[in-house]
Amino acid sequence: MNRNRDMQFNIRLTESELEEFEKKRAASGLGKTDFFVKMVRDSNIKVYRFDDDVKAIMHELRKIGVNLNQAAYFANTFQSEKAQVALRYYQKSFCEAMDRLSAFLDKPLVEG
């Protein structure tokens, strides 16, 4: 493909980022420009804003994890009925939280 490349783009990388770029570029067999152009054209980047709604979901998931310890305590102390009730409740809460998180991930601010 014959393109007129008259635009220049400069970026700054850390040493490890440059090493990673060079390792992947060398493995591709492409030059720096062709590798970068392919990377831009073939990649799919999603951008999200982690607002208070997502923070609330993450907080809820952490609480469920902590509460699972309570269910484990019930199971380990031969209180199986309490353990089963707790597990059903936490499973329902976990599924609801994961559904909300999945809905968030389905709607990025920018995709392309």
Same domain, yes or no: 101 and 57:
yes
What is the pLDDT at residue 22? 95
Given a cut of 70, is residue 112 above it in pLDDT? no
The residue segments making up the domain with residue 76 are 47-111
Q: How many domains does the chain have?
A: 2
In a domain, 6, yes or no: no
Same domain, yes or no: 22 and 75:
no
In a domain, 73, yes or no: yes
Same domain, yes or no: 31 and 60:
no
Domain termination site, one of 43, 62, 81: 43
Mean pLDDT of the chain: 89
Same domain, yes or no: 39 and 74:
no
Same domain, yes or no: 102 and 51:
yes
pLDDT in tens, 46-98: 888 888 989 999 999 999 888 888 888 888 998 889 889 888 888 988 999 99
Given a cut of 80, is residue 108 above it in pLDDT? yes
Same domain, yes or no: 75 and 51:
yes
What is the pLDDT at residue 1? 58
Q: Report phi then psi at 68, rounded to 5.
A: -65, -30
What is the pLDDT at residue 86? 86
What b/e sequence results for 18-47 when a residue is b if at least 16 CB atoms lie within 10 Å of its CB, and e otherwise? eeebeeebeeeeeeeeebeeeeeeeeeeee
Same domain, yes or no: 39 and 51:
no
